[in-house]
Amino acid sequence: MANQEDVFKKVISHAKEYGYVFQSSEIYDGLSAVYDYGQNGVELKNNIREYWWRAMTQLHDDIVGIDAAIFMHPTTWKASGHVDAFNDPLIDNKDSKKRYRADVLVEDHVAKIEAKIDKEVAKAAKRFGEAFDKEQFLATNARVKGYQEKATAILKRLGQSLEKEDLADVKTLIEELGIVCPVSGSKNWTDVKQFNLMFGTQLGATAESAMELYLRPETAQGIFVNFLNVQKTGRMKIPFGIAQTGKAFRNEIVARQFIFRMREFEQMEMQYFIKPGTQKEWYEAWKEKRMNWHLSLGMGEENYRFHDHEKLAHYADAACDIEFKFPFGFRELEGIHSRTDFDLGSHEKYSGKKLQYFDPEENKSYVPYVLETSIGLDRMFLAVFSNSLREEALENNTTRTVLQLPAVLAPTKAAVLPLLKRDGLPEIAEKLVNDLKWDMNVAYDEKDAVGRRYRRQDAVGTPFCITVDHQTLEDETVTIRHRDSMEQQRVKMDKVKGIITDAVAMKAWLKKI
């Protein structure tokens, strides 16, 4: 079996080769952690966004959408806590001049200890064969227990030091663990310093009149500052939600996992405004709703799990992630946060404007509590893309590369292929394309042998190929080849649109939520 690193490399090269994701400004050697979406990537991204948008706004009569600007008044970020608290602890190696996130250096060290545990387990499994009981081994083997205790103690100390903002102790921990710079191999570290992740810019023409702005690091604040506008103009009654998708920017220090962690990325966020005291039940309800949205795409229940936050952000009274099994392991895909009245309360304080709701049932006004769901669109793209890419061994001893995207998200739904470039077959195929293109993205391909054309469509993720052959001339039938099973069915040409629409229509998939 290919190792994780090879699988991930394959994902990245496939994304480039088939027009999904390119490095930004590649002809100038690229820009680190910034990416462009190609001709197929933009379609997949649009489809994921639409699938989220429709699930949120169309299927919930109490959720509406907005599109707030990226630039916001700078006080927004003071009120939200980002100016003071949106920091990463950084450390530089004096010899290599490389900069690292101090917490990531420690976590990578712990990952090495955990890898030793995995090695011991693999060795024991081999030694004991079928009789091997992993749980018992983990609980009783002295060496493994020693590793586990060490890993837990390190993470606990790191958590406590970060919580207390004791950056000197984070440096001491790095020194005590003997962590070396991966580039220079030296332990010659600077002190640990906090580094704010927001990108600054200026609004205005002259230096004197210019206003210092930030590029928004999350879309959520555009929703909070519009809470009353939407509530009043939409005559919304609590509980209700506001959804938004859009770009966010973070000056990430450790940005090395392709589109998993980017400096410019897109978020899909929904803030659900609720009565204070009801946050626990809404937290549970939204955890379930969001998990069901993910599962409706059929990417395997075993690839998702919840992870509760131990260290809560300054605004939250409960928070968890939905983690997905990426090629490099389980990582955060989406966050679900119970944000209390922190944001609206803080904007009230900083703006001097009341951000309250008059509850007719309670006959009083209050600052609503907020339940947030927040997912990275690019991260969802990576989850879908990496999960779909397969190398399949075929019966004839060949392999095929197939991108088994959920059909509802595939950039192109069908490719129409005339078997030969003559005998009137291309004309019939073009007619079929012209008929289908009003309902879906459809491709036409007449180059190379049909087998090679099937492989090309498999690799790009097209769920259906429709082949026009000589029998079509006789009885107006074509074959529909299914990407995943490679099975072919012969159907009347006038049935094609219905068959494909049933399989790819967003409505049918949304109904599974």
* Cβ-defined contacts of 292-298 (< 8 Å, 24+): 292/513, 293/52, 293/55, 293/513, 294/322, 294/324, 294/333, 294/334, 296/509, 296/510, 296/512, 296/513, 297/51, 297/384, 297/406, 297/408, 297/409, 297/509, 298/406
Residue whose CB is less far from ligand GAP, 253 or 429 = 253
Residue whose CB is less far from ligand GAP, 225 or 425 = 225
Residues 191, 192, 195: CA angle, nearest 5 degrees: 130
Q: Is 374 in the site for ligand GAP (CB under 6 A)?
A: yes
Q: Quick one: which H or E segment has residue 270? A: strand 264-274
Residues 487, 399, 327: CA angle, nearest 5 degrees: 100
Site for ligand GAP in 199-228 (CB under 6 A): 218, 220
> Among the candidate windows 54-62, 143-151, 258-266, 434-442, which touches ligand GAP by CB under 6 A?
258-266
Pairing assessment for the beta strands 63-65 and 240-249 based on DSSP bridges = parallel
433 Cα distance to chain centroid: 33
> Among the candidate windows 48-56, 90-98, 150-158, 265-273, which touches ligand GAP by CB under 6 A?
265-273
User: What crossing angle do the helices spanning 167-176 and 102-128 adopt, rounded to 10°?
Assistant: 40
> Among the candidate windows 134-142, 176-184, 367-375, 478-486, which touches ligand GAP by CB under 6 A?
367-375
Q: Is 376 in the site for ligand GAP (CB under 6 A)?
A: yes
Site for ligand GAP in 65-94 (CB under 6 A): none
Query: Binding ligand GAP by CB under 6 A: which of 252, 323, 348, 359?
Result: 252
DSSP assigned state of 103: H
Residue whose CB is less far from ligand GAP, 189 or 258 = 258
Q: Is 261 in the site for ligand GAP (CB under 6 A)?
A: yes
Q: Is 379 in the site for ligand GAP (CB under 6 A)?
A: yes
Residue whose CB is less far from ligand GAP, 35 or 147 = 35
What amino acid occupies position 312? Answer: L
* Cβ-defined contacts of 448-452 (< 8 Å, 24+): 450/417, 450/419
Largest CA distance in the chain: 82
Residue nearest to ligand GAP (CB): 376
Residue whose CB is less far from ligand GAP, 246 or 411 = 246
In the complex, minimum distance from the CB of residue 228 to ligand GAP, in angstroms, rounded to a whole number: 20
11 Cα distance to chain centroid: 15
Q: Is 333 in the site for ligand GAP (CB under 6 A)?
A: yes
Residue whose CB is less far from ligand GAP, 269 or 445 = 269
In the complex, minimum distance from the CB of residue 376 to ligand GAP, in angstroms, rounded to a whole number: 3
Residue 495, SS3?
helix
Peptide linkage before 239 cis (omega within 30 of 0): yes
Query: Binding ligand GAP by CB under 6 A: which of 317, 323, 332, 348?
Result: 332
In the complex, minimum distance from the CB of residue 250 to ligand GAP, in angstroms, rounded to a whole number: 5
Measured between alpha carbons, how far apart are the two ends of the chain, in Å?
A: 34
- Give every CB contact of residue 398 below 8 A, 6+ residues apart in sequence: none
- Give the number of residues in contact with ligand GAP, rule: CB under 6 A: 19
> Among the candidate windows 98-106, 287-295, 368-376, 472-480, which touches ligand GAP by CB under 6 A?
368-376
Q: Is 244 in the site for ligand GAP (CB under 6 A)?
A: no
Q: Is 481 in the site for ligand GAP (CB under 6 A)?
A: no
Give the Cα separation of 256 and 260 in Å (integer): 8
Give the Cα separation of 110 and 151 in Å (integer): 6
Q: Is 445 in the site for ligand GAP (CB under 6 A)?
A: no
Query: Binding ligand GAP by CB under 6 A: which of 262, 344, 414, 432?
Result: 262
Q: Is 120 in the site for ligand GAP (CB under 6 A)?
A: no
Q: Is 343 in the site for ligand GAP (CB under 6 A)?
A: no
Instruction: Summarize as ranges the residues that interact with ligand GAP (CB under 6 A).
Output: 218, 220, 250, 252, 261-262, 265, 267, 269, 332-335, 372, 374-376, 378-379
